[in-house]
Amino acid sequence: MFKLIVQGGPLMVPLVLCSFLSVAFIIERLWSLHKIPTKTEANDCLMDASKALKNGGIEEAKSFCGRLKGILPFVFTLVMDRYDALSHETRTIGEIRDELIATTEEAGRSYLERFLPVLSTVGGVSPLLGLLGTVTGMIVAFKSIASVGATGDPQTVAAGISQALITTAAGLIIAIPTVIAYSYLRQRATKILVGMERFSHGFVNSLITEVGRFVSYKETLKMAYADGGLEEGEKELLHRKRVLLNISEEKAAQLEKEVKKELGSV
């Protein structure tokens, strides 16, 4: 094998590098796609993330997802990051939801199709490198003919022809399985992405619902603190609102601090 690589000339160096990249990324993608959660595992992850979101808001949900690995925690985290950015814009709930749904698809595809562009590049470049090796090998062969004359020993051109054939074969040997693997992995990723949609969309709905609860309570707090203090009736109103929206005392206290800070800065 090493002898063939040497006979193939300098272009065998990038071809060997392409072969290593192809094998490494094919194995990595197969292993990554093999670890995709089952429907039961995905549903459990969605329930746990939604629970964290309900109990502690976005920060708690981010902390929960940060402790896990896999496609769903990755997608959930990017969705929450995107929501943080959208929350500073003037958008309707419907527009925010549509934007977050689009984010789930982009995040899922990013996770599942990671390194696939490398395989696509290797599959396209390898035969071109082989073709270039063919050209350089024939140049070497014709130079050998020119140096010894047309009646010289055929062995003088054998090295050039051998280089041309070896690089051509190497380029095709690398490109064919790489292109097949790329096609399979791309289709597999698309199939998984479709299967994960119900869970990623479910998290978006949970996020919109939970954030809506907190926004509603903050609006009530702003009205209550509009005159600078709380009366007994306003305290009772806030208590009922908190119970109705199922907001914990810790979260209510955090929202109250945020509202006081906002009103104090006005």
Of 42 and 221, more confident: 42
Q: What is the pLDDT of residue 159?
A: 65
CA torsion through residues 220, 223, 225, 231, sign = negative
pLDDT for residue 146: 67
pLDDT in tens, 71-116: 999 999 999 999 888 877 777 777 888 999 999 999 999 999 999 9
Secondary structure of residue 39 in the 3-state scheme: helix
pLDDT digits (tens, 9 = 90+) for 162-218: 778 889 999 999 999 999 999 999 999 999 999 999 999 999 988 888 777 777 767
The pLDDT value given to residue 46: 93
> Per-domain residue ranges for the chain?
2-205, 219-264
Closest listed residue to residue 178, CA positions, set 36, 4, 24: 24
Residue 204 confidence (pLDDT)? 92
Within a 13 Å sphere around the CA of 203, how many CA atoms are in the beta-carbon half? 35
Question: Residue 128: pLDDT above 80?
Answer: yes
Q: Give helix 71-86 / helix 39-66 axis angle, nearest 10°.
A: 50
- Rounded Cα gap, residues 21 and 27, in angstroms: 10
pLDDT exceeds 50 at position 263 = yes
Q: What is the pLDDT of residues 139-177, one digit of tens each?
A: 877 777 666 655 555 665 666 777 788 899 999 999 999
Rounded distance between C-alpha atoms, residue 164 and residue 12, angstroms: 11
Q: How far is CA 3 from CA 6, 12, 166, in A?
A: 5, 11, 11
What integer pLDDT is reported at residue 141 of this predicted model?
72
Instruction: Assess contact for 37 and 192: CB atoms under 8 A.
Output: no
Q: What is the pLDDT of residue 265?
A: 47
H or E stretch covering 150:
none
pLDDT on residue 190: 93
Q: 154: exposed, middle or buried (C-beta count within 10 Å: 0-12, 13-18, 19+)?
A: exposed
Instruction: Tell me the pTM.
Output: 0.74
* Whole-number Å distance between alpha carbons of 28 and 22: 10
104 to 45, 101, 118, 140, 184: CA distances (angstroms): 15, 5, 23, 54, 22
